[in-house]
Structure 1
Amino acid sequence: MSLPQPVPPSWKDLGKSSNDLLGKDFAINGTALEVKTATPSNVSFRVSGSQDPKSAAINGDIEAKFSDKPHGLVFTQAWTTSNVLRTQIEAENHLAKGLKFDLATSLLPDSGKKTAVFTSTYKQPGLHTRAFLDIFKGPTFTADTVIGRDGFLLGAEASYNVTEGKVSRYAAAVGFSAPEYAVTLHGLGNLSTFAASYYHRVSPDVEAGAKAIYDTKATTQGISLEVGTKAYLDTAAFVKAKINNAGILALGYTQALRPGVKASFGIALDTQRLNEANPTGPAHKVGASFVFEG
C-alpha cells in the first residue's frame, strides 16, 4: 500500500532544488539591498534596490502587503523606480479547500501600458494544477498540471491564444523527488529544448547539483552544462561554488550577521580570460547583497 500522497510542487517549482542551488546566493550582479519589516497589524513592507554594474543606474521598488489570514486574503501594492504600479489580490480556500484565486496587475502611468493576469490554483494530495488568463495579451489562456505518486512526478503545460485560436506553447516534464535527492527532465519550447537537473543532499552540511540544457534549434550544437555545490560552514554561514562548460566559475559566501541581518558576497570569473588586467572587466563580475528583516 502506498503512503498518503503529499501535494506535489507546482509546474514552476519542478526542479526547484537544483535551480535554487545553482541560481541563488550568487551576488555577482552589482550591489543589492533589501529591507523587510512587519507590523503587529499584519502589514509588511519591503524596500529593495540594486545598482547595475555597467550603467551605475539604481533600480528599486517599495512594496506593502496586507494579510488577513483568518479570511485567506492578501493584498499587495508595489511601486518601482521605473514608475510601474503593481497590484496583487489573493484569495484562498473560499469556494473550496485548496482553491486559490489571484489577480496580478501592472500599470505604467506614463504610457498607459497595462497588464492583468488572473490565476486559479487548486492543490490536493497528489495534484497541483493552475490556470492563467492573460487578459490584455491575446488574450492567452495557460494551464499546467503536476501529478505525483510515491515520489514520481509528471507535469505538462500548454498555452492557448484565444484570438488566433491555436495552441501557442506546450511543454512536459517528468521527475522523481525524495528527501535526499531529486531528478527532473523538462521538454520546453514545444519540445524543442530539453533540460535535465539533479540535486543531492550529500550530508546535512553539503549539497550538490547539476543542470544540462540541449536546444535543438541552437545554431551551435552542444549541451550547456552547469554543476555546483553548497557547504555550510556553521549554522550562520555557507559557501557556494558553480562552474559551467563555458568556463565561468562563480563563488558565493553568505553570512548571517545577526538574526534578521544577512550579507552575501559573490564573484564570477571567466577562467579562459584570467589574464585580463582588470579583474572587474567584462569577463569577470563581483557583487554584494544585504538583507535586513525585522
Structure 2
Amino acid sequence: MTADEHAERFTLLRPLLFTIVYEILGSATESDDVLQDSYLRWAGVDLATVRDTKSYLARLVTRQALNAVRAGARRREDYIGPWLPEPLLLDEHDASTDVVLAESVSMAMLVLLETLTPDERAVFVLREVFGFDHDDIAAAVGKSVAAVRQVAHRARAHVQARRKRFEPVDAAQITRLTEQFMAAAATGDTDGLLSLLAPDATWTADSGGKTTASRRPVVGAEKVAALLIDLFRADRSMPDMRMELVNCNNAPALAAYHGDHLEGVFLIEITDGEITNFYAIRNPDKLLAVAVPRQISR
C-alpha cells in the first residue's frame, strides 16, 4: 500500500469526516486540527486490515474529536459570555437538498447539541445524522453496544424535547425575509423590524470578552429591534463599514466588514415565517474560519 492510497481514501471522505467532527466540536478550526492529527494516524495504518474505510475513519476522527473536547473543557468553563459554535461558511448550497444534513449543521441545532454531554453528542451525531450502526459507534466512543443504545435513546429524547417543530423554510422565503430585514434595519424602521421578529426573538452574542458585545442574551422583539437599530446606526456613521450576505451553516448570514477586516458574522434563524434568533459571532478567533469555504457531506 502506498502513501498515495492513504491520501486518496482520506481525501475522498474528508467532507464527511469534517462534518462529523464539526458537529461534535462546533469549531471549524479545531476540526481541521483533528483531521490533520487523524490523517497522521491513518497514514500509519496497514490498509490490508481495513474492511470498511468509511467506518474506520469515522471511528478514528470521532475518538480524536472526543479527546479534543476533553482537552478544551477548561477553556470552555473559563469562557467570557455566551459560547456559540464557529460559523461555517459553505461554498455551495447542496446541503439544502438534504434536509437532515442542513438541519444538523444549523446554528440552532449546534447550540442545542451543546446541552448534551460529549458522549451523547457523538452518539447522536453518528446515529441520527450519519446512520452508523451501534457496533461502529460503540467502537468510536469506547462503550458497549448496550450502553450506546441507552445513550442514543437519551440523547434523541433530549433533542426532540427541545427542537422546535417547524417546516423547512424555502429559499424564496429566506431571501424575502432577509431582504426585508436588511431594508428595515438599514433605514431605522423599527415598526418594520417588529413585524419580522417573533415576540420572544433573542439576540445572542459571542465575543469571548475580546470585543464589545452583550454578555447576556437579549430577549424580546422590542429590545432586539432597538439593539439592531443602534447597531446599524453605528455602522452608517463609519463610511468604510459594509454588510455582505453570505451562506453560513446553510442559512442566511450577514458578514460585517470594517474595510477589509471582518468584524462579525450574524446568523438569522427563521421559524414559522418569523425571525426567532440572531446569533452574533464577534470573537475574532472564531471569525478566522469564515475566510475558508467548506464542503460538508454525509
TM range (shorter): under 0.3
More helix by share: 2
Q: TM-score, normalised by structure 2?
A: 0.25
The higher radius of gyration belongs to 1
| Structure (1/2) with the larger strand percentage | 1
Higher relative contact order (CA 8 A, sep 6+): 2
